[in-house]
Amino acid sequence: MFKNFFPNKIISLKYSIIKKLLILMMLIFFVALAFALFFSPPDYIQGETVRIMYVHVPSSFIAISCFAIIGLASILNLIFKIKIMPIIAKSLAPIGSVFTLISMVTGSLWGKPTWGVWWVWDARLTSMLILFLFYIAYIIVWKLISSYQTANKISSILAIIGLLNLPIIKYSVDWWNTLHQPSSITLTSAPTIHFEMLIPLIIMLLGMVLFLLIIFLMKYKTELMKIKLKTGNKKY
Amino acid sequence: MFVKKVKLRAIFLLSFLTIISIIIFLILKSLEENVVYFFSPSDIYNKSNISFNKKIRIGGLVKKNSIITKKTSINFIVTDYKNEIIVTYNGIVPNLFAEEKGVIVEGLLNDKKYFVATTILAKHDENYMPPEVASSLNNIKN
């Protein structure tokens, strides 16, 4: 499977494949949104506001996992000097930052009717904002530093430091008192979310992951082509 | 030669990460009081250095049958099942404010048992379920 992400495979990636993925994604979203907006029940306390969760939770999950991949790719990049790693990381950063933004916006749209405030400086919300700033800094480093080698090094170190923020985000709700509620879905115990709500949530997550994959493939291909143009036809 | 270089880089990166995580840990540890968004009634009970003229936040559950609504103010008790604090508030409470549900109040302590709130936030817990399920769960409980 990993071979499919090799540069020459990606560069010859045809648009028809992306188109097929797009159609699949639309189908999944159609089902997911139908469930999320119409067929799933309202919550016993929050009422209809709970439907924001179907966007908020998957986008937060993707925002965090995206940065985890960027961080791991940066570690492999610094230690083993694997040449495709920085390109993978670089291609994931914009989409990850957008998902972080979606997570924060939907979160505050939910927070106003539920908590009574748009934003508070509790540990979960603040660490999520820090993640967003890391994404922005990561993108800016690539944009502003013209030397590829320098940008590569600085951005990798930045991503590795940002990696340490991820467990803080994850466990902030357990380590400290926060306004944000603890996780409903954990590996160790049964989910505290009713299955009628859990199923649309999972389908929604599936659709968003597919969306992430499509955008990533397109961006990754563009980045590879840019490098190919710059370096001529040298083997990468 | 190559392997040695890789090893060196791995060790360097590992020690770098360890140092940074220790730094972050120490910073968070020393800022514990500020990272915590609210104190529980028991925290207040056990605290020795409370400033009565500084805004703080207290969180817990609204005690059952403790809400008293007057013309312009509302009184209720915040509890963590060990200690309690009486809260008084002038204003409109959030929609999700209810007995036996989580609440966070912001304001000033009069003394360790009495709190004057300026803001009330409703805290939602991690349980999500349809109303029918919740009412049938309630029936089982009673």
CB of B120 within 8 Å of a chain A CB? The answer is yes
Residue type, A200: P
Shortest Cα distance from B86 to chain A (angstroms)? 20
Of A115, A172, A124, nearest in space to B101 by CA: A115
CA A50, A45, A180, A57: dihedral to nearest 10 degrees?
-20
Strand (E) or helix (H) holding B132:
helix B131-141
pLDDT on residue B15: 93
Shortest Cα distance from A211 to chain B (angstroms)? 26
What 3-state class would DSSP assign to B109? strand
In contact, B105 and B87? CB cutoff 8 Å: yes
pLDDT on residue A151: 94
Tokens of A109: 């749209």
Q: What is the pLDDT of residues B56-72, one digit of tens each?
A: 898 998 988 888 888 88
Chain B positions in Cβ-Cβ contact with residue A53 (cut-off 8 Å): 128
ipTM of the complex: 0.82
pLDDT on residue A101: 97
Question: Is the pLDDT assigned to residue B142 strictly greater than 70?
Answer: no
Residues facing residue B87 across a β-bridge: B76, B115
pLDDT on residue B48: 77
What 3-state class would DSSP assign to B122? strand
Q: How many whole angstroms separate alpha carbon B88 and alpha carbon B95? A: 17
Annotate chain A with DSSP letters as a single string: -GGGGSHHHHHT--HHHHHHHHHHHHHHHHHHHHIIIIISPPBTTTBGGGGGHHHHHHHHHHHHHHHHHHHHHHHHHHHH--THHHHHHHHHHHHHHHHHHHHHHHHHHHHHHHTS-S----HHHHHHHHHHHHHHHHHHHHHH---HHHHHHHHHHHHHHHHTHHHHHHHHHHHS--SSPPPSS-SSS--SB-HHHHHHHHHHHHHHHHHHHHHHHHHHHHHHHHHHHHHTT---
pLDDT on residue A42: 87
CB of B9 within 8 Å of a chain A CB? The answer is yes
CB within 8 Å: A176 and B37:
yes
Q: Which of A221-225, B39-43, B131-135 has the lowest mean pLDDT?
A: B131-135
CB within 8 Å: B131 and A42:
yes
Chain A positions in Cβ-Cβ contact with residue B28 (cut-off 8 Å): 168
pLDDT on residue B51: 76
CB within 8 Å: B130 and A182:
no
pLDDT on residue B71: 81
pLDDT on residue A91: 94
Q: Where are the alpha helices (DSSP H) in B31-97?
A: 32-35, 41-46
pLDDT on residue A5: 67
pLDDT on residue A89: 95
Residues 1-40 of chain A whose Cβ lies under 8 A from any Cβ of chain B: none
CB of B22 within 8 Å of a chain A CB? The answer is no
Shortest Cα distance from B110 to chain A (angstroms)? 23
> What are the distances in angstroms from CA A152 to CA A14, A139, B117?
28, 11, 51
Shortest Cα distance from B22 to chain A (angstroms)? 11
Chain A positions in Cβ-Cβ contact with residue B23 (cut-off 8 Å): none
Q: Name the residue in chain B with its Cα closest to that of A39.
A: B130
Q: How many whole angstroms separate alpha carbon B25 and alpha carbon B31? A: 10
pLDDT on residue A67: 97
Shortest Cα distance from A192 to chain B (angstroms)? 5
pLDDT on residue B23: 92
CB within 8 Å: A194 and B128:
yes
CB of A202 within 8 Å of a chain B CB? The answer is no
Q: What is the pLDDT of residues B86-117, one digit of tens each?
A: 999 988 888 788 888 889 999 988 888 889 98
Q: How many whole angstroms separate alpha carbon B72 and alpha carbon A31? A: 48
Q: How many whole angstroms separate alpha carbon A84 and alpha carbon A94? A: 17
What 3-state class would DSSP assign to B45? helix
CB of A43 within 8 Å of a chain B CB? The answer is yes
Q: What is the DSSP letter of B63?
A: P
Q: Name the residue in chain B with its Cα closest to that of A110.
A: B124
Residues of chain A falling short of pLDDT 70: 1-5, 232-236
Shortest Cα distance from A130 to chain B (angstroms)? 13
pLDDT on residue A233: 57
In contact, B62 and B103? CB cutoff 8 Å: yes
What are residue B25's phi and psi, to 5 degrees? -60, -45
How many C-beta atoms surround the C-beta of residue A168 within 10 A?
21
CB within 8 Å: B126 and A123:
no
Chain B positions in Cβ-Cβ contact with residue A46 (cut-off 8 Å): 96, 124
CB of A46 within 8 Å of a chain B CB? The answer is yes
Question: Is the pLDDT assigned to residue B1 strictly greater than 60?
Answer: no
Of A126, A135, A139, A76, nearest in space to A100 by CA: A135
